[in-house]
Amino acid sequence: MKTALVTGCSSGFGKGIVAGLLADGWTVIATMRAAGRRADLLSAEAETYGDRLLIRELDIVDASQRKALAVEFSHLDLLVNNAGFGVMGAIEDLSEEQLRRQFEVNFFGTVFLTREFLPALRVSKGKVLMISSILGRQSFPMSGAYCASKFALEGLSESLAYELSPHGVQVCLVEPGGFRTSMADNTVWGEKTADPASPYAVQNANMKRMREKMMSRPGVAPGAVVRLIVKLARKNKIPRRALVGKDAFGMNAFASLLPDRVVSFLYTRLYDKLLAKAPA
């Protein structure tokens, strides 16, 4: 029986991935924070799949919890590094702690958990799927902390993939565009973004308004991401990177087909227009 461990299973992609992998025959170790009082978030899956679903506590930044999991599960075929969140706001408006926290969760926690399971994955010749983002390839204003954490994850994962290739372990960066999950609700805004004296007050206000407008629309359900993960989990050979979502493909095509200076010129014009002008 093939075993997968998924992080951040309380909502969004993670919850969907757990259900998708269980339906595909995997034994799934579904991890989340406060699992003791929130295990019922996966009660439907527990009822359907019984002991093929194992729910465990994991705050990705907690070293002792990461180690305890690796000790408990010495066999693993697939690690899905999904847990993550976003810190929004101009770099100057974030506290040092907020910027560091973004990296602790999206980068360091993910990397250290992966290291804990590499001995098991080398034995099983398993796979690591890193949930990155199209924003791990292209940066967006007012989300530099998030983009940087995903760029860092991309750089490390590329090295990791080369290092692990002779050991038969494959690493794939999954790069979604925008999908409707709990991510917007879990977003943390920079400490000074609410301050009207911030030099970025206009950009912050426009960004918040744009996001509210976007959230009032139905959004794209996370099914495509779940299906992609299940497909990658099944495949013998997986790619280094996998885009998912029309917007991710569009943004990637835009940046790959045009010269760099044209891309920066056009994005600068667009972001100035969208964010820098005070509302009429």
* Minimum distance from residue 27 beta carbon to ligand NAP (Å): 20
Query: Sign of the C-alpha dihedral, residues 6, 12, 13, 17?
Result: positive
Site string for ligand NAP, 236-265 (x = CB under 6 A): ------------------------------
Stretch that binds ligand NAP, among 8-16, 20-28, 91-99, 201-209 (CB under 6 A): 8-16
Of 146, 200, 267, 271, catalytic:
146
Strand partners, 95: none
Contacts of 106 (CB under 8 A, 6+ apart): 84, 85, 146, 149, 150, 153
* Among residues 124, 139, 186, 252, the one that binds ligand NAP under rule CB under 6 A: 186
Site string for ligand NAP, 159-178 (x = CB under 6 A): -----------------x-x
Joined together, the tokens standing for residue 247 give: 């917007």
What is residue 232's DSSP assignment? H
* Minimum distance from residue 32 beta carbon to ligand NAP (Å): 6
Site string for ligand NAP, 72-101 (x = CB under 6 A): ----------xxxx----------------
Joined together, the tokens standing for residue 138 give: 């292209």
Please spell the DSSP secondary structure of 163-206, one letter per residue: HHGGGT-EEEEEEE----SSHHHH-EE-TTTT-TTSTTHHHHHH
| Strand ranges for the chain from DSSP E | 3-6, 27-32, 53-57, 78-81, 87-88, 127-131, 170-176, 188-189, 241-244
Spatial separation of the C-alpha atoms in residues 225 and 84, rounded to whole Å: 15
Annotated active-site residue 146? The verdict is yes
Using CB under 6 A as the binding rule, the residues of this chain from 102 to 161 that contact ligand NAP are 105, 131, 133
* Among residues 3, 4, 6, 14, the one that binds ligand NAP under rule CB under 6 A: 14
* Among residues 98, 124, 139, 182, the one that binds ligand NAP under rule CB under 6 A: 182
Is 81 in contact with 113 (CB distance < 8 Å)? yes
* Among residues 33, 66, 127, 137, the one that binds ligand NAP under rule CB under 6 A: 33
What is residue 236's DSSP assignment? S
* Minimum distance from residue 166 beta carbon to ligand NAP (Å): 28
Smaller CB separation from ligand NAP, 158 or 247: 247
Catalytic residues: 146
Using CB under 6 A, list all residues that contact ligand NAP: 7-14, 32-33, 58-61, 82-85, 105, 131, 133, 176, 178-179, 181-183, 186
